Amino acid sequence: METTTLKEQYTALLASQPGLRIRNAADILGVSEAELLATATQGKVTRLVPDFPGILGKIETLGYVMALTRNNEVVHERKGVYLNPSFGPHASLFVGEDIDLRMFLNQWAFAFAVEEETRGKVRQSLQFFGADGLAMHKIYLTDQSNQDAFNELVGAFLYPDQESALNISPSPEEAVELPDSEIDVIGFRNAWIALKDTHDFFGLLRKFQVSRTQALRLAPEGEYAVEVDLVAVRKVLQAAAETDTPIMVFVGNRGMIQIHTGTVHKLFEHGEWYNVMDPAFNLHIHEPGITSAWIVRKPTEDGMVTSLECFNASGELVVTFFGKRKPGIPELEEWRKIVADIENEFSK
């Protein structure tokens, strides 16, 4: 599809549906978000060289910004300063009290600087996409950001050919789940019970070749994995707000995991979305997209660690809730009570 044709289609779509978000417009038009963005239909779009460690290594100079990571069901927005970057061959990190990220840069392919007008105000951002044009991460300037540093960064990483078309690749194929009969269930359960660190759980899934939702179905008997009613997603936020219990909220896609650690306060429903709208943290959950929710417990050297894991219809993990914790510190008893109350009332 030629860019000019796509731009005309996008323009017509926006005229018929004002305020339509670009991700939704891409779905309607059957293209990727990156392709739509590159048409520059809604503002100025500057392509950057895909030197992601180089670009991200300069983000701290922007000062106070808003980090946005999302999947189809959940949007996670956190304000702060990007601190303490670390770049590795498999995973890269920003570790700060406000901006806390786990990045998988091998999944990233395109970078853009964007200026767009929204409700009469110009918003500037850096936006990163996978090879299939799926958004991995976005960084928005705030009123407190360093404009000069943003301009300098864009100039330093300017892509030499701004007119070339994006080379979009097909989306990665989803792994096929093995039948339960082919899984070493006893070995898997024993390995789960023997866990010492929650970070080892992903390796456990790979070792036994089980999907995440399959793992929950095949979990050790007892408290390790309990399916709960979908209302648990609201209830966990409401209980945390009512008791002022600090929590951790993980939202990600294949290229990024973004984490909020702290309390939540302002909660409300808006149409099909359930929202946290605090000054530094916003969370938007498209409730119809959540099709299963599980209370999950994993043993660690610090005791049991409890989470609420939420999945979409494809079995993708879209948001996870923990109590605030750090290695070497046992899980908050206030969090355990919240989860136990939800389990008692809403387990299936």
Both tokens assigned to 163: 């007119």
Check residue 291 and give its pLDDT: 97
**Distance (Å, whole) CA 107 – CA 134:** 10
- Strands laid side by side in the 273-277 sheet: 43-48, 110-118, 121-129, 135-145, 63-70, 74-80, 281-286, 273-277, 267-270
The per-residue pLDDT for range 65-102, each reduced to its tens digit, is: 999 999 999 999 999 999 999 999 889 999 999 999 99
pTM above 0.75, yes or no: yes
DSSP per-residue string spanning 12-59: HHHHHSTT--HHHHHHHHTS-HHHHHHTTTTEEEEEE-S-HHHHHTTG
Check residue 4 and give its pLDDT: 58
Q: Which candidate, 96, 337, 313, places its Cα nearest to that of 239? A: 337
**Distance (Å, whole) CA 11 – CA 43:** 12
CA dihedral 151, 156, 161, 166 (to 10 degrees): -80
User: 3.30.565.10, 3.40.50.300, 3.40.50.2000, 3.40.1570.10: which CATH number matches 180-346?
Assistant: 3.40.1570.10
Any idea what the Cα angle at residue 236 is, between residues 92 and 74, rounded to 5°? 45
Residue 77's H or E segment, with its range, is strand 74-80
3-state helix, strand, coil in the chain (%, to 5): 30, 35, 35
What's the rounded mean pLDDT across residues 323-333? 91
Radius of gyration of the chain (CA): 21
Question: Is residue 222 within 8 Å of 342, Cβ to Cβ?
Answer: no
Q: Do domains 3-83+108-156 and 180-346 have the same CATH topology?
A: yes
Query: Which amino acid appears at position 185 of this protein?
Result: V
DSSP 252: E
Check residue 3 and give its pLDDT: 53
The per-residue pLDDT for range 119-165, each reduced to its tens digit, is: 778 899 999 999 999 999 999 999 999 999 999 999 999 999 988 88
Question: Is residue 257 within 8 Å of 137, Cβ to Cβ?
Answer: no
1 has pLDDT over 60: no
The per-residue pLDDT for range 251-282, each reduced to its tens digit, is: 999 999 999 999 999 999 999 999 999 999 99
Domain ranges in the chain?
A: 3-83+108-156, 180-346
Cross-strand bridge partners of residue 41: none
Check residue 176 and give its pLDDT: 87
The CATH superfamily label for domain 3-83+108-156 reads HemS/ChuS/ChuX like domains (3.40.1570.10)
Start-to-end Cα distance in the chain:
48
